[in-house]
Structure 1
Amino acid sequence: MSTQLPAVTVVGSINLDIIASADRLPAAGETIGGGRLTQQPGGKGANQAVAAARLGVGSRMIGAVGDDASGRLMLESLSGAGVDTTDVAVLDGDATGTALIVVDGDGENQIVVCPGANAAFSLEGVEFGPDETVLCQLEVGLPVVLEAARRSAGFFVLNAAPAMDLPAELLERCDLVIVNETEYELIPALAGAKLVAVTFGKDGSAMFERGQKVAEAPAAAVTVANTIGAGDAFCSALVLGLGAGLDYSAALTVANAVGADAVGDPSSQPALAQLEEYVARVAGVGVAPR
């Protein structure tokens, strides 16, 4: 276990992304040629942990990889980005999670996730501090997310992706839920959640309390290279902005700027500036109590 608790602990998936880039996405049953193949670190959990580290805070990753070459590569990548990997389990007999991704010339994508070790780990032996911020997603088993919610006492955030029905116990524990507009529509129970941030792509983002919009922020203009890691960067930036004392509108504006930088980067784990630079970059953003 780590002796110092970081600013954000991420409980979630770690994947190898295998990406085929093509001019357009294939239709059902269609084969298209001329693709370009790349591999890179990914997984919503790992992407969010790396984004937090690159934004300039400590981050801890709780998850699992297989005892294979891909797992070793994922651990090296996380550590190289400054993420604490002490609580990443290496599971013998389970392959490292893999995402098969097709990306078109506009940055739109199709993704199939093969969870592997992500579906097999537990929180046995993992501890959470009383004031620790915990960020989860739904690319790992729901029982793990529920256990994290029960055991963490600090600020608990759920990026409810991929969309699924959420147990009432989990939703009631969430201090913040983050979704895109499609996920918001697919999870009706979110209308009653205490605090939900929703992203709307080119239309920006908004914050809802018990279904009532209480803040919004416009999107930043950007040339799209890849949308895979943008939502994950947004999640980390929003959590960190709120933790730093930004009000809802300011935190959304900063998170939109971070997401825009991520969209303009072809990597699932894009290079980012320090959080303070985004706060200074966005005109009219100031630190204010909520």
Structure 2
Amino acid sequence: MHAKVVVVGSLNMDLVARAERLPRGGETLAGDSFFTVPGGKGANQAVAAARLGASVAMVGNVGDDAYGQQLRQALESENIDCQAVGVCAGVSSGVALIVVDAASQNAIVIIPGGNGLLTPESVQRFDALLQNAEVIICQLEVPPATVAWTLARGRELGKTVILNPAPATDPLPRAWFAHIDYLIPNESEAEALTGLPVNDIDSARCAAERLREWGAGKVIVTLGAEGALFVSEHGSRHFPATKVKPLDTTAAGDTFVGGFAAGLACGLEEGEAIVRGQRAAAISVTRAGAQPSIPFLKELAP
């Protein structure tokens, strides 16, 4: 299989509880519903890229448990190449504990499980996938050394390299930036990476310009209901968001990243790829769950 998009990252089983509001510290709160659904930023982005037009391969790890089998099967059902999804003996699969409130905001606790055992050597064993890719995507739910190796290898191979720095809480190593073609943080991640406040379009532009000064090729700051800001060597452009009534924002960012990557892999111009990602993300927030919320290309408005 020729995979135009290769995703190196996490696979989690999401355990989702819905409640009227998020609990406070030490509080026990009655919830409204509970369900399990395949997730993980890496797997979500792989599913989004596959549903939105690309041929995709996933590089990651699961545990030798029932969740691991389900996570792999979920990707295979999307025709995603899973030859590089390893099974770690004696380890649980990654799990995300998610609480979603009535306003569709969420709080998440992640247990890495097999994701924490994805080493640079694990990825290197499937270097042929990277060589055959057009776009390589990484996030931050696997060990930093693995992300660093993959970014550098992607640059060495001349591929289009995307880093979604999620979930970022601290600045990235400066050496990473020169390997990144598209850095795609949200507002809080852009703030964590730069130390600059990010709360509107102008402040997002300042943060993006700082990230470009440090070596990132182009930066897309996703702004939720305010859309996305694209900053490159040619200046900046704001892309307004489609107005929708959100139900669950889980995986909206992943849907955008996967849709954008698929657009690039399919030959779209950058702005067109951003719009594809935005339209897909707008649909995803109107649906519950991570991967189940991700739309197919045929669902996007022309």
- Report if aligned partners of 1:215, 1:248 keep a CA contact under 8 Å in 2: no
- Report if aligned partners of 1:216, 1:249 keep a CA contact under 8 Å in 2: no
Amino acid at match of 2:78: A
Aligned to 2:221: 198
Which blocks of at least 5 consecutive residues in structure 2 are unaligned?
A: 195-209
How far apart in 2 are the matches of 1:248 and 1:47?
Answer: 21
Match of 1:62, SS? strand
How far apart in 1 are the matches of 2:139 and 2:54?
Answer: 20
Deviations 1:117-162 (A, max 9, x none): 1011222411121653110000100111111122222111100111
For the pair 1:218 / 2:218, whether they are aligned, the reply is no
Aligned to 1:9: 6
- Report if aligned partners of 1:10, 1:136 keep a CA contact under 8 Å in 2: yes
Which blocks of at least 5 consecutive residues in structure 1 are unaligned?
A: 283-290
Aligned to 1:125: 125
Aligned to 2:261: 239
Corresponding residue to 2:277 among 255, 270, 277: 255
Corresponding residue to 2:287 among 240, 244, 265: 265
Aligned to 2:167: 162
Corresponding residue to 1:146 among 141, 145, 148: 148
Aligned to 2:138: 136
TM-score, length of structure 1 as denominator length? 0.89
How far apart in 2 are the matches of 1:179 and 1:108?
Answer: 18
Report the Cα offset of residue 28 of structure 1. 2.1
Match of 1:10, SS? strand
How far apart in 1 are the matches of 2:34 and 2:297?
Answer: 31
How far apart in 2 are the matches of 1:140 and 1:174?
Answer: 17
How far apart in 1 are the matches of 2:235 and 2:289?
Answer: 32
Comparing both chains, which one has the higher relative contact order based on Cα–Cα distances under 8 Å and sequence gaps of 6 or more? Answer: 2
How far apart in 2 are the matches of 1:209 and 1:202?
Answer: 22
How far apart in 2 are the matches of 1:114 and 1:218?
Answer: 34
Report the Cα offset of residue 107 of structure 1. 1.3
Amino acid at match of 1:35: D
Aligned to 2:83: 86
TM-score, length of structure 2 as denominator length? 0.86
- Report if aligned partners of 2:3, 2:132 keep a CA contact under 8 Å in 1: no
- Report if aligned partners of 1:134, 1:155 keep a CA contact under 8 Å in 2: yes
| Percent identity for Structure 1 against Structure 2 | 37
- Report if aligned partners of 2:53, 2:266 keep a CA contact under 8 Å in 1: no
Superposed CA RMSD: 1.7
Report the Cα offset of residue 41 of structure 1. 0.4
Aligned to 1:174: 180
How far apart in 2 are the matches of 1:247 and 1:85?
Answer: 29
- Report if aligned partners of 1:197, 1:205 keep a CA contact under 8 Å in 2: yes
How far apart in 1 are the matches of 2:115 and 2:176?
Answer: 20
Report the Cα offset of residue 165 of structure 1. 2.1
Amino acid at match of 1:190: L
Q: Which moved more, 1:68-77 or 1:188-197?
A: 188-197
Amino acid at match of 2:151: A
Deviations 1:58-93 (A, max 9, x none): 110000000111101111111112211110000102
CA gap 1:173/1:76 in 2 versus in 1, 3 angstroms: same
Structure number with the higher helix fraction is 2
How far apart in 2 are the matches of 1:116 and 1:221?
Answer: 37
Match of 1:166, SS? coil
Match of 1:179, SS? coil
How far apart in 1 are the matches of 2:117 and 2:97?
Answer: 20
Aligned to 1:30: 27
Amino acid at match of 1:139: E
- Report if aligned partners of 1:59, 1:83 keep a CA contact under 8 Å in 2: yes
Q: How many residues align?
A: 275
How far apart in 1 are the matches of 2:113 and 2:23?
Answer: 26
